Structure 1
Amino acid sequence: SILCKYFANSRLMIFSINNCIILCTRRDLPMSIEIRAEKAVEIANEAGIFALGFFQRVGSLEIEDKGPQDFVSEADKAVETFVRAEISKHFPQDGIVGEEHAPLASQSGYTWVIDPIDGTTNFINAIPAWTVVIALVKDGITEAGVIYDPIHREMFSAVRGAGAILNQNPLICDANTSLTRGTIGTGFSNRVSTKGIQKLLNIIFDRGGMYHRNASGALSLAYVAAGRLLGYVEEHMNAWDCLAGQLIVNESGGRVEIQDADEMITHGGRVVVGSSGVFDQLKAMADEAFEG
């Protein structure tokens, strides 16, 4: 068995592997990043509790249509307002980009990228598969990411160069995988044609694979890091849906198609992540499905 403990105010990690204690040194993280990363976990936890209150009375929520298969509820707006207020209280010079409200420019160089409820369609239909997502970006690089599933009390988090954890346990993305012995997560955005996802599914089947869609891209990315899914492919994702998950996968030992985080904030883009055992195949499948 493997257990891991991060010490918030030190550079040390302690691993216990089969009762043998191993002391490791973390990347020399700037304190400004460590403080923000710890606060991101706290805020995600509080936001998750807040969101649960809405979920428990989901039948009475006000819901608006933003487009086909794209919704926003009063819960999304309220939870994002809460997260923004907490960030601004502790880091008033930081920028904020969220799904539901106007962006706030950064004066510190740090930008928080948030999705108050990723999986709104699930949320408004009382399906327990949704998350609170927070990423921290500086100079085009995601420095910290949090994906919190309050239904199952699972907190996926990572700091660049310091590994990824699920609650207090290290996340390790198993490299010993194959397309025929697991499931590939997929998603669809109404910002692109349906042709790409239709072609991708056919390719997955032709390669002997199987697909999974849970309508929360962030949760699927977290599941890749945890080894529950082989990988995840989507033609277009917004930054608030994917930046945190991409970092968590990368820090768990998985592989990620790298993009500039600032470009993703501005335009969104394709996302391909996976275990090292299947990543190259997934990228080739995405190239074939989404060509042109």
Structure 2
Amino acid sequence: MSQETELDTRFVFAKAIAQEAGAMALEYFNGRDTLVIETKRDLQDVVSIADRNVETFIRARVAEAFGADGFLGEEYGYQEGHSGLTWVVDPIDGTAPFVNGLPTWCVSIAVLHSGVPVIGVIHVPCDDELYAAATGMGASLNGKTLGLDPSRNLQNAMTGIGCNSYVTPERVGAIVSALLGKGGNFIRNGSGALMLAYVAAGRLVGYYEPHMRAWDCMAGYCLVKEAGGTHLPFPAEGEALLQGHPVLASNQTVYADLLAIHTV
């Protein structure tokens, strides 16, 4: 099987499994009052049985269809493969909005080749939206091709900003202050993956978070790139794949401005 055929096969599969996983997650969301919520690193870092069961479902389906592929998921870690391809999955990105009844959460699925995201699929069950991209195939939202508008900038559009307990309040304050100082404005909806999808769709002009993990950003990075945007490289080979790194993605117009904020 050629590399192009392998990519096509996995792309079709990723879109289908994202929708199946999203339907499963949506059932949990609609019955969230019965979910047992646990905390991980701190009280804001939450996890539920929904996260774990959705990841288990995706892992099992990928192992059945592509047993030689590697797999990295937020809840159950890394399993090395030997095909040269690795699935990187966040079963529910935006667990805090999820458990609090907000719709800004998603299923994020990427496939990496040599550390580069070659497939990115993000399903947003509450909005019935499927973002999908693969190398050389462009990016789409519910089948409609996405392309970024170079006339959008920090001043006439919104920028997504992410934060977590790995980043000091002072650092977050400096980032927001720098963005406002450039005449920009910001939004944070609790899901970095979803905000990256919004960048690909042109709803946000860019997204920046000083510390993210691969499962939060790889699908979004593929989407933004295929929509015509650009992003900060994410070290994704060896141990670096398992560590947190800065994430920045935007249209071509504002990348330099956001890069300056990154170095503040």
Q: Structure 2-normalised TM-score?
A: 0.96
Q: Determine the structure 1 residue equivalent to 2:105.
A: 130
Q: Does the C-alpha gap of structure 1 residues 123 and 228 become closer, same or farther in structure 2, counting only changes over 3 Å?
A: same
Q: Indicate the SS of the match to 2:263.
A: helix
In 2, the alpha carbon distance for the partners of 1:43 and 1:74 equals: 19
Counterpart code for 2:259: K
Q: Is the 8 A contact 1:175 1:254 kept in 2?
A: no
Q: C-alpha displacement at 1:195, in angstroms?
A: 2.2
Aligned to 1:282: 258
Mapped partners of 1:271, 1:131: distance in 2: 18
* % identical aligned pairs: 41
Partners of 2:33 and 2:111 lie apart in 1 by: 33
Q: Which residue among 27, 40, 65 is the counterpart of 1:66?
A: 40
Higher-Rg structure is 1
Q: How many angstroms does 1:262 deviate by?
A: 2.3
Code of the residue aligned with 2:214 in structure 1: it is: A
1:83 aligns with 2:46: no
5+ residue gaps, structure 1: 1-27
Report the residue type matching 1:153 in the other structure.
Answer: D
Mapped to 2, the partners of 1:99 and 1:258 lie a distance apart of 20
- 1:56 equivalent among 22, 30, 46: 30
CA separation in 1, counterparts of 2:111 and 2:125? 20
Q: How does 1:93-104 map to 2 (within 5 A)?
A: 93-104=68-79
Which of 167, 172, 176 is the matching residue for 2:151?
Answer: 176
User: SS of 2:253's equivalent?
Assistant: coil
Per-residue deviation, residues 42-73 of structure 1 (Å, max 9, x unmatched): 00000000001100111110111112310000
State the alpha-carbon separation in 2 of the partners of residues 214 and 93 from structure 1: 36
For 1:205, the equivalent position in structure 2 comes to 180
Q: Secondary structure at the match of 2:78?
A: coil
- Give the C-alpha shift of residue 99 in structure 1: 0.4
- List, as ranges, runs of 4+ consecutive aligned residues in structure 1 with deviation greater than 4 Å: none
State the 1:29 CA deviation: 5.9
Matched, 1:215 2:190: yes
Partner of 1:25: none
Q: Which among 236, 252, 265 is matched to residue 227 of structure 2?
A: 252
Pairing of 1:224-239 with structure 2 (within 5 A): 224-239=199-214
After superposition, the C-alpha distances for 1:80-124 in whole angstroms (9 at most, x for unaligned) are 000101101101111110000132111211110000000000000
Mapped partners of 2:142, 2:111: distance in 1 = 19
Aligned partner of 2:21 in structure 1 is 47
Q: Secondary structure at the match of 1:180?
A: coil
What are structure 2's unaligned runs of at least 5 residues? none
Q: What is the rounded CA distance, in whole Å, between the counterparts of 1:287 and 1:136 in structure 2? A: 29
Aligned residue type for 1:278: V
User: For 1:151 and 1:197, how far apart are their aligned partners in 2?
Assistant: 29
Distance, in Å, in 1 between the alignment partners of 2:184 and 2:233 is 24
Give the equivalent residue in structure 2 for 1:268: 244
2:166 paired with 1:191? yes
**1:9 corresponds to:** none
1:121 aligned onto 2:104: no
> Letter of the aligned partner of 1:151 in structure 2?
C
Give me the CA root mean square deviation.
1.3
Aligned counterparts of 1:270 and 1:198: Cα–Cα separation in 2: 16
The one-letter code of the counterpart of 1:255 is: T
How many residue pairs get aligned? The number is: 261
